[in-house]
Amino acid sequence: MEIIRLFLNQNWDIQIVLSKWLVLLIAGALVIWLLIVILKNRGIGAKSYEINEAIIGIGNHKIKIKPNYDDMQIAYKLWVELSTRKIGLPIDFKNDVIVEIYNSWYEFFRITRELVKEIPISKVRKNESTRTIVRIAVEVLNEGLRPHLTKWQAKFRKWYTEEIEKEENKGLPPQEIQQKYPEYEKLINEMQEVNRKLIEYRKILKELAIGK
């Protein structure tokens, strides 16, 4: 049985004749490919997740979300950023330096903003799940990180910069110097609360991206 036949016609043009079985095979493969694309775009087979806004400090609702593959990719990128920076790990104030933690928080703020900006508007408008992930990411920045940074970061950095230059503090480790901050206990308590919410946010992103 011939599958493909090539021959020259009377006008010396090359003609290709495909067998009906090959045509059916190609058509079937195209149909299967289209189905896979459609199912992936609709997130068919993806699990539904419940996000409790209260545990990450951005509201009091519980949201059901069924992420598609694009959503999973977005969640994965954000999860990697949280997991590879101090921001998504418990703070150890005996060993961690507050200025370095603030540097990490600021960098995460910047990167999250850039990642959100890179999401095509067509996907945001088309998929409710994508809109939800984008909204939560923005609210984590604006309601989770920004208030603390606005309240504490500038004045602590100013105090710390001046303090490390004092003769009495020469040779002291930064962990000891930062404990002299007049509002140290209040500062670290509020930092720990922000840190707790960010750790919960990291868990949510991990579940959305790769499961538990």
- Judged against a pLDDT cut of 60, whether residue 163 lies above it is answered with yes
The DSSP secondary structure of 91-144, one letter per residue, reads: --TTT--HHHHHHHHHHHHHHHHHHHHHS-HHHHHH-HHHHHHHHHHHHIIIII
pLDDT at position 21, please?
53
pLDDT in tens, 128-150: 999 999 999 999 999 999 999 99
pLDDT value, residue 12: 54
5 sits in which H/E element: strand 4-8
Calculate helix-pair angle for 98-118, 128-139, nearest 10 degrees: 150
For residue 150, what are the contacts with CB-CB under 8 A and spacing of at least 6?
A: none
Q: Minimal CA–CA distance to 67: which of 212, 205, 200, 203?
A: 205
* Residue with token string 């992930």: 133
Count other Cβ atoms within 10 Å, centred on residue 77.
16
Mean pLDDT for 191-206 is 92
Kindly provide the b/e burial profile for residues 20-34, where b requires at least 16 CB atoms within 10 angstroms of the residue's own CB.
eeeeeeeeeeeeeee
The DSSP call for residue 149 is I
Residue-level pLDDT at 44 = 46
Question: pLDDT tens-digit profile of 91-112?
Answer: 998 999 999 999 999 888 888 9
